[in-house]
Structure 1
Amino acid sequence: MPLVSTVGPGRRPPREEVRRALLDAAAQVFARQGVDGASVGDVAAAAGFTKGAVYSNFGSKDDLVAALVEDRVSAYLELGLAAVSDTDASLGEKARALGDRLTRAADEQRDWQLLFLELWQRAVRSGAVDGAFVDRRRELHAAVTDAVTAHLDQAGAEPPLPPAELATLLMALSNGLALERQIDPAGVPDDLFGRVLALVVGDRSAS
């Protein structure tokens, strides 16, 4: 079933609306069928448009994949920043809020994690260390490192690890726990990620 109904005669949807629908469809189709197993036509059909809409907005399938990676990385970063936006919260409270929000996001959008695995496998198998996926991951890591540094400085806290290593740990925990939770939800409590992050930044009340 299409994610977006095909528009009727006489109405041309805004370009941004079409682009958004195609990205959402691509995330779902690529996660379930694989990037190489899915066609441009599959993505277009899932969004309720023709293949021409994909080519006019992204140029090629590779360009669509690159745009999708950019979109999902940006969404992940925005989600994390929103979770720690309370300036009155303690560092431990922010850590728990971040872990809890990312856990809910993984539950709400299970295809995201499948898509991550698909793109990760593609990058590893091809050895594309300069591909879109790896490049965007590096940009995300740099942004997370900057955010970690800013929140530690604001709290006047001594980091248990260098901020760049904390960013690596956060990203690895986010992906790893999301995968474990998909297989065995009962084995990964709702608040586990948040409690672990709070412990990492020195909040012993989280244990």
Structure 2
Amino acid sequence: MAERWTRQRRVEHTRSLLLDAAEEVFAKQGFGGAALEDIADVAGYTRGAIYSNFGTKEDLFLAVIERHQKRFLDSFADVITSFEDLDNLDVGKLAERWRELTISGPDSAALGYEFSLFLLRNPDARERLSAQREETIASLAEYITTHVERLGGTLLMPAQALARLLIAANEGITINSHIDGVELYGPYLQMVMANVAPKPH
């Protein structure tokens, strides 16, 4: 007997398909170049479905970015928790996971750049989203602090500053790795880890 979908499940399924399509189109065409009709076509829905689920093009774009950032960070959780202390922390494994997440192409980094350009070109949006961006930085800083302490380490620079640097550098490292064909994930993470020291006994 076929499973009966609840209304909530149908809505979640529709939103997920629209977000998948929007992520693809925004990454390839940019925020300015992406048309809602194109996104709706890729998802197999009408433009009205976008309006009813997300509202404006800007709201859809921000929902894509929020999901994208959360998925990216969550993808490192199992690797990081597999390390027991600083001595067995393997930068190569972290670099490999980062590479795996972007191996299909630079679209992931392009999406991040589109978001940065969107904020740069839209002061109103920048102001409106500043609190959300600070929340993202604070969340990443807490994530860094928690794992560094669990591994028996201490940060040589403030966690908030390191979080800002990681967010700012992410797309650049990924895109330049694709452009030049020289993998920068490992060297960059080694530079980051130079700011982590064993906790003094």
Flag whether TM exceeds 0.5 (same fold).
yes
Distance, in Å, in 2 between the alignment partners of 1:107 and 1:94 is 20
- SS at 1:161 equivalent: coil
Distance, in Å, in 2 between the alignment partners of 1:163 and 1:94 is 20
Distance, in Å, in 2 between the alignment partners of 1:157 and 1:195 is 15
CA displacement at 1:77 relative to structure 2:
2.3
Normalised to the residue count of structure 1, the TM-score between the two structures is 0.78
**Among 70, 75, 79, which residue is 1:74 paired with?**
70
- SS at 1:108 equivalent: coil
Q: Is the 8 A contact 1:159 1:201 kept in 2?
A: yes
Whether 2:153 is the aligned partner of 1:141: answer no
For 2:127, the aligned partner's letter is D
Measured on the aligned residues, the alpha-carbon RMSD in Å equals: 2.6
**Per-residue CA distance 1:20-57 (angstroms, 9 max, x = gap):** 11101111111222222222111000111121221221
**Among 127, 132, 142, which residue is 1:130 paired with?**
127
**Among 79, 86, 89, which residue is 1:83 paired with?**
79
CA displacement at 1:66 relative to structure 2:
2.1
Whether 2:191 is the aligned partner of 1:196: answer yes
Distance, in Å, in 2 between the alignment partners of 1:50 and 1:181 is 37
Aligned to 1:45: 41
For 1:85, the aligned partner's letter is T
Note the 1:1-207 alignment, pairs <5 A.
14-86=10-82, 88-90=84-86, 93=89, 95-108=91-104, 110-127=106-123, 128-132=125-129, 134-185=130-181, 187-188=182-183, 191-202=186-197
Distance, in Å, in 2 between the alignment partners of 1:157 and 1:103 is 25
The 1:130/1:45 distance shift into structure 2, 3 A limit, reads same
Q: Is the 8 A contact 2:84 2:151 kept in 1?
A: no
Q: Is the 8 A contact 1:22 1:43 kept in 2?
A: yes
Q: Is the 8 A contact 1:29 1:43 kept in 2?
A: yes
**Per-residue CA distance 1:163-186 (angstroms, 9 max, x = gap):** 11222232233222112112112x
CA displacement at 1:190 relative to structure 2:
5.8
- SS at 2:156 equivalent: coil
Normalised to the residue count of structure 2, the TM-score between the two structures is 0.80
CA displacement at 1:136 relative to structure 2:
4.0
The 1:182/1:78 distance shift into structure 2, 3 A limit, reads same
Distance, in Å, in 2 between the alignment partners of 1:83 and 1:168 is 22
Q: What 5-or-longer segments of structure 2 have no aligned partner?
A: 1-6
Q: Is the 8 A contact 1:141 1:167 kept in 2?
A: yes
For 2:39, the aligned partner's letter is V
Aligned residues: 190
- SS at 1:158 equivalent: strand
